[in-house]
Amino acid sequence: MIDPVSAIAIASSAFSALKKGMQIGKDLEGMATDLGRWAGAMSDLDFCDKRNQNPSVFQILGGGVESQAMEIFAAKKKRDSMRAELKDYISVMYGPSHWEELLRIEAEIRVQKRDNEYRRLEMVQSIKEWTAGITLFFMLIGGLFGLVWLMTW
């Protein structure tokens, strides 16, 4: 499962590669892989935030929602800092139109990830929750029948 710490670590490494590429004069098209990793990590972070706003029953019962919220908060602050620095650097080096291009690329990646990976993750989580619920239901029914059987014996 995607966690905010991993997402921000991926974003930081991609951000470092982007900065290094811009310092040596690469154009944005030449850094497509790093841009894709950075935008994908930003999308993962947004997905973590969305999932934390609507936690599953097992996340609520097991705790951890508050700690994940703090991780997401810290990661979002770092994301905002990286985004501002990247915007300034791209706007100065290449002009504001390149920043708009980066935002367009990031939006495309976010839509692709949401349509593919996140839908799959949500389905897997839903299957796990339903399986656990049905198992618990049958265990309770079995326990009830066992109790009735012991009372009649």
pLDDT at residue 57, as a whole number: 66
d(CA 21, CA 37): 14
Chain-centroid distance, C-alpha 82: 17
d(CA 24, CA 124): 43
pLDDT at residue 6, as a whole number: 85
Position 51: which residue type? R
The three-class DSSP label of residue 95 is: coil
Q: Is the pTM of this model over 0.85?
A: no
d(CA 40, CA 95): 23
Q: Residues 28-76: pLDDT tens digits?
A: 667 778 878 888 888 888 887 777 777 666 666 666 667 777 888 888 8
Place of tokens 């029948």: 145
pLDDT at residue 62, as a whole number: 63
- The pLDDT of residue 141 is above 70: yes
Q: Residues 9-27: pLDDT tens digits?
A: 888 888 888 888 877 877 7
